[in-house]
Amino acid sequence: MTGMDEPSRYTIQVTPDPDRFNRYRWHIYEGGKLRDTSVLNFATLREAYADAERFVDLLIITWQKATDPSDEKAQRAFAGVARHAGHATVNEPAMQ
């Protein structure tokens, strides 16, 4: 989703779920700091990584729209992208 000359500012890590045997969760790092982690767990590494990539794509698209000062709706949505995608951010509690 990012340009070829622009490295992604996000890093994806998939790890075993400590609470569920043979299940996986993803973690998104931004600038080396944990930004988001999956609320859901996944049956395979591939499934978890694919979901993380979709989440990062949403972050990038939303960030690009939010930096467009003419798009006020996107700017408001930027803060809640993780909530609407069903994931919790590190700085924000998960929706119950």
Q: What is the pLDDT of residues 44-55, one digit of tens each?
A: 999 999 999 999
What number of H helices and E strands is found in the chain? Answer: 3, 4
Q: Is 82 exposed, middle or buried (0-12, 13-18, 19+ CB in 10 A)?
A: buried
In DSSP terms, 28 is beta-bridged to: 12, 36
The pLDDT tens digits for 12-22 are: 999 999 999 99
> In what helix (H) or strand (E) does residue 33 lie, and over which residues does it extend?
strand 33-37
